[in-house]
Amino acid sequence: MSKHPRARSRSPRTSRTVRSPRRVAVVAALGLLAFGAGWAYTAQDDNSGATAQARTGDRPGEAAGTGANKPTNPTSPAGVPRATRGVRGAPGAQTASGAPGAPGAPAAPDGPAQGLADVSDETLARIPATARQLLLVAGKARDSSESTATLYTRPAAGADWVRATESWPAHNGASGWNSAEREDGDLTTPVGVFTLSDAGGLLEKPPGTKFPYDRNRLFVPTGRGVNGESLTGAFEYVIAIDYNRRTGVSPLDLFKPEGEDKGGGIWLHVDHNGPSQGCIGISKQAMKKLLTTLDPAAKPVIVMGPAGF
């Protein structure tokens, strides 16, 4: 016999008396369950708020959902990834004046010329202490396109510079030197201290070259020189001067972080026996010497301007 008929055989009064405590127990249990669920939800909600605050507050002053390292590298017309704007001032880049722009980078100590001729104390102060190789290009005059290039080295930061090569005749911009606001096409060479970091050319790199080197058939100049001379062979060897460019890419890269108006594409290249539009031209043998001597580990720089700058 099942339990159900036996339960129905009880009187209504007895049935109500038995069920009432059970109902109270059920209601109480349901109440406790509701209270517990509410407490758990409240605790979970408080914990979620703390997590959200940690995610948005780990970079003070930065809006939620933003990041300092988002990749933004569009491709340049030459097919080389472009840098983001505002790269100037990043470690290894130059300021508009040509001085190294790495925050907190130590400058060479003041004092006598430290072995360098035709360089002012102001220019000496712009040379980073970490540099152990230096190409000095001293112009004949501010409005002259004739200059002299000499390579110097030093054994350690702060030591005096020692000449490492003979001096080479060189050409700079047809309109001389510009230490102010240079404009694209003004035929001047920018004055300042700039890093050297990338090379390339039409020819294969000389054995022993330590710079990143882009051998490329696009290293062929068009037209003729300022004085009508042939430019054939001028880009057989090239070292990019880090003026209004980003480092770590081919000298052929077209991107100019400080804008098109300042011009760019300022290179060391093979001299074509005439003034340039802004580059520095030295002999082919001198270019090979630089390529096989300059070492990125020595943080090489070029210091260039009219004599006494």
Q: Distance between CA 106 and CA 115 in Å, rounded?
A: 19
- Supply the pLDDT for residue 37: 38
Amino acid at 65: G
CA nearest to 168, candidates 138, 199, 206: 138
DSSP string, 131-142: --EEEEEEESST
pLDDT tens profile 214-268: 999 999 999 999 999 999 999 999 999 999 999 999 999 999 999 999 999 999 9
The residue with tokens 């880009």 is 235
pLDDT tens profile 76-120: 333 333 332 222 233 333 433 343 333 333 344 444 468 898 899
Question: Cα-atom radius of gyration of the chain, to the nearest Å?
Answer: 36
With H, G, I as helix, E, B as strand and everything else as coil, classify residue 178: strand
Mean pLDDT of the chain: 74
Query: 8 and 19 in contact (C-beta within 8 Å)?
Result: no
Q: Which two tokens stand for residue 116?
A: 């360098």
pLDDT tens profile 140-150: 999 999 999 99
Contacts of 7 (CB under 8 A, 6+ apart): 15
Q: Distance between CA 297 and CA 211 in Å, rounded?
A: 10
* Segment 277-306 mean pLDDT: 98
Query: 243 and 266 in contact (C-beta within 8 Å)?
Result: yes
pLDDT at 2 over 70: no
CA nearest to 309, candidates 127, 160, 104, 88: 127
Helix (H) or strand (E) holding 8: helix 3-8
Query: 231 and 225 in contact (C-beta within 8 Å)?
Result: yes
Predicted model pTM: 0.66
Q: Distance between CA 52 and CA 104 in Å, rounded?
A: 35
- Portion of the chain with pLDDT greater than 90, in percent: 59
* Segment 1-22 mean pLDDT: 39
